[in-house]
Structure 1
């Protein structure tokens, strides 16, 4: 069993390219190292949106426990050090996978 979290962001106007560059440099390193898998990541330049999903083995409680450790990690702190706020709005929810085992 794995738990998937869908993360939808509306980015600060004018920050799309900087955000995508930062995300591409850091998230593929720090999230997997913390026990997560990145399911997908898509950007919509025209509307300054970024949508991605991250998963972890286990149920929601296991995901949240892993996320708590990740949020307090040195690796995450390094990834966010000196980075301005580029996300104007975020919507983060757990979702169901209707095509497991693809």
Structure 2
């Protein structure tokens, strides 16, 4: 399968941006990496209370199939992390590198 990259923009609930970033770094990133995803970077937009990051997958499955594996994994369930507790909205866009 070709490499798929998503640009993800999350609008975070007021007062929870730093806590979300800590949870993302400590819980989400290690499992994503373990499952073969690549993290292309992450940025905080404090003015808009947003968290922006790039995630890619280049493996035998589609991004969608691998993402489903992430969400159904026992490790993900053990995180006790419901994104709805932190996020007001999400915007996930599949993007292609042009430069």
**TM-score normalised to the size of structure 1?**
0.85
Q: Which ranges in structure 2 are unaligned for 5 or more consecutive residues?
A: none
C-alpha deviation, 1:82, in angstroms: 5.1
Does the alignment pair 1:95 with 2:95?
Answer: yes
C-alpha deviation, 1:5, in angstroms: 0.9
After the TM superposition, which parts of structure 1 deviate over 2 Å for at least 4 consecutive aligned residues? none
Q: How many residues end up aligned between the 2 structures?
A: 97
Corresponding residue number in structure 2 for 1:74: 74
Q: Is the 8 A contact 1:40 1:53 kept in 2?
A: yes
User: Matched residues in 2 for 1:51 and 1:82: separation?
Assistant: 18
Q: Is the 8 A contact 1:11 1:48 kept in 2?
A: yes
C-alpha deviation, 1:58, in angstroms: 4.9
**TM-score normalised to the size of structure 2?**
0.87
Give the secondary-structure state (helix, strand or coil) at the position aligned to 1:47: coil
Q: Deviations over 1:62-99 (max 9, x none)?
A: 111111111100111122x0556100011011111113
**Aligned residues: CA RMSD:** 1.8
User: Matched residues in 1 for 2:67 and 2:55: separation?
Assistant: 11
1:4-23 superposed matches below 5 A: 4-23=5-24
Q: Which ranges in structure 1 are unaligned for 5 or more consecutive residues?
A: none
Give the secondary-structure state (helix, strand or coil) at the position aligned to 2:85: coil
User: Matched residues in 1 for 2:53 and 2:81: separation?
Assistant: 23
